[in-house]
């Protein structure tokens, strides 16, 4: 039986609405207690080098339901056209100008839990909905094409000049034509019969290769032209069997990160891996990093988020942890590293936080009302995050 378990929240729609809340769902008494200030309809604790909330919008009808939806879609920025896109659990893809003016919304017909991919040249937008549809819309918000695939898709598409690549929760990678959405090729893994973690690794297209990771613990490099396999590494061989054959999580759910020809991925149980990007050879493995949910490059450092350890900075030269920030309220999202030297992430039952990359010191935080399960997004001097319950915060990085 193929069972999916949520790592950050046990039930996807189990957060109860909080009555008597302020503009962003945060009680005013809490804001007073923590020294926060109300800023553009959201509460933020300002700090040097962090962020300010430029504006916020409520995107879902959160108060009309008994339960608050968990929002998993990340924002996608088009700084050339000064706009931001964000999808919601109600199936709407919103487009806003960076000053907060709504430009349009597109109804996808099903929940949107994956980040959109924006073509900087044309302004076209590509994104999946959980019913397996891949949508391509124009810069004006008009449908260009829509292709139905098998299974659920929750990850950001990868776009190339002639193709769009998507991977589903069923471990099937599909290449679609950019012009009309027809299927060019598929790479199909055998279905996993073990218990697996909810969510899936995104893909990385770099140096003419498409890198992917799967729920059975495999990591692979493919030819983006035809889906031909260059190499595959099975991290599951490093998972020791427990007495009585108790099931373990074999997933590699972290989107691969490339630094200086080395590919970094993390198995939920087997730990952090450094792989040679050309051959797939394991250069080293650190079994201490378990429960990893996200990786981000920072020069010769790696920022790692873990449901168990929180957020930490690893020096890749010495393989020593430089600092560690323990989780406060829930599990951390995947981290984002900004050009300003800041690490931004959310906690599933807590705040949106900014830490100093140099020493892990907290420099800013904001509240969205019910925690953040979606990975925040940053593009240049702008950032954004949607909270559980559907409040989108547009950030200005200091």
DSSP state of 199: S
How many percent of the chain have pLDDT more than 70?
A: 82
Which range among 59-68, 146-155, 386-395 shows the weakest confidence by mean pLDDT?
59-68
Compute the mean pLDDT over every residue in the chain, rounded to the nearest whole number.
Answer: 85
Check residue 197 and give its pLDDT: 59
Check residue 10 and give its pLDDT: 33
CA distance 79 to 397: 14
Selected residue with higher pLDDT from 134 and 66: 134
Which range among 5-9, 167-171, 194-198 shows the weakest confidence by mean pLDDT?
5-9
Phi-psi sector, 388: left (phi>0), alpha (psi -120 to 50), beta: beta
CA distance 264 to 355: 22
Check residue 1 and give its pLDDT: 36
Residue pair 227/186 in contact (Cβ under 8 Å)? The answer is: yes
Using pLDDT thresholds of 50, 70 and 90, give the confidence band for residue 303.
very high
Which range among 47-56, 188-197, 223-232, 318-327 shows the weakest confidence by mean pLDDT?
188-197
Under 8 Å CB-to-CB from 151, ≥6 apart: which residues? Answer: 132, 168, 169, 170, 172
Does the pLDDT value for residue 66 go beyond 90?
no
Check residue 398 and give its pLDDT: 83
Residue 59: both structure tokens together = 């995107």
Residue pair 176/182 in contact (Cβ under 8 Å)? The answer is: yes
Dmax (CA) for the chain in angstroms is: 58
Residue 126: both structure tokens together = 């590509």
Residue pair 151/169 in contact (Cβ under 8 Å)? The answer is: yes
- 245-272: average pLDDT: 87
Note the pLDDT tens digit of each residue in 11-24.
333 333 332 233 33
Note the pLDDT tens digit of each residue in 246-258.
557 788 889 999 9
Note the pLDDT tens digit of each residue in 333-385.
999 999 989 999 999 999 999 999 999 999 999 988 889 999 999 999 999 99
Class of the CATH-defined domain 4-237+248-397: mainly beta
Check residue 47 and give its pLDDT: 42
Q: How far is CA 16 from the centre of its chain?
A: 23
For residue 351, what are the CA distances in angstroms to 205, 329, 367, 385? Answer: 32, 8, 5, 11
Check residue 308 and give its pLDDT: 86
pTM, two decimal places: 0.85
- 313-329: average pLDDT: 95
Closest CA to 256 of 296, 308, 307, 299: 296
Note the pLDDT tens digit of each residue in 73-103.
999 999 999 999 999 999 999 999 999 999 9
- What stretches of 318-374 adopt beta strand conformation (E)? 320-325, 336-337, 342-346, 352-356, 362-367
């Amino acid at each position: 039986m193929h069972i999916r378990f949520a790592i950050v929240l046990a039930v996807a729609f189990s957060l109860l609405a909080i009555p008597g809340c302020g503009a962003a769902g945060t009680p005013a008494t809490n804001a007073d207690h923590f020294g926060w200030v109300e800023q553009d309809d959201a509460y933020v604790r300002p700090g040097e080098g962090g962020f300010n909330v430029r504006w916020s919008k409520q995107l879902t009808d959160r108060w009309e339901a008994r339960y608050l939806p968990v929002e998993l879609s990340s924002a996608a920025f088009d700084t050339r056209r000064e706009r931001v896109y964000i999808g919601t659990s109600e199936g709407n893809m919103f487009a806003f100008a960076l000053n907060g003016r709504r430009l349009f919304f597109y109804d996808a017909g099903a929940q949107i839990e994956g980040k959109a991919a924006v073509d900087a040249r044309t302004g076209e937008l590509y994104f999946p909905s959980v019913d397996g549809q891949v949508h391509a819309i124009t810069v004006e918000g008009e449908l260009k094409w829509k292709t139905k695939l098998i299974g659920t898709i929750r990850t950001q598409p990868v776009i190339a000049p002639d193709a769009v690549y998507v991977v589903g929760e069923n471990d099937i990678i599909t290449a679609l034509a950019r012009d009309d959405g027809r299927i060019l090729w598929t790479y199909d893994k055998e279905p996993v019969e073990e218990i697996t973690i909810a969510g899936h690794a995104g893909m990385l297209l770099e140096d003419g290769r498409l890198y992917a990771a799967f729920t059975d613990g495999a990591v692979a490099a493919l030819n983006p032209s035809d889906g031909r396999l260059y190499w595959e590494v099975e991290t599951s061989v490093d998972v020791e069997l427990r007495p009585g054959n108790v099931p373990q999580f074999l997933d590699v759910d972290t989107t691969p990160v490339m630094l200086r020809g080395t590919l970094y991925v993390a198995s939920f149980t087997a730990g952090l891996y450094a792989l040679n990007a050309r051959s797939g050879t394991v250069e080293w493995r650190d079994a201490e990093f378990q429960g990893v949910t996200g990786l981000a490059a920072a020069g010769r450092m790696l920022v790692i988020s873990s449901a168990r350890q929180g957020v930490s900075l690893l020096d890749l030269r010495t393989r020593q942890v430089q600092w560690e920030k323990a989780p406060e309220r829930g599990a951390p999202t995947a981290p984002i590293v900004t050009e300003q030297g800041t690490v931004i992430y959310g906690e599933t039952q807590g705040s949106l936080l900014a830490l100093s990359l140099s020493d892990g010191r907290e420099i800013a935080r904001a509240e969205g009302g019910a925690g953040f399960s979606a990975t925040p997004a940053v593009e240049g001097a702008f950032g954004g995050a949607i909270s559980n319950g559907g409040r989108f915060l547009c950030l200005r990085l200091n």
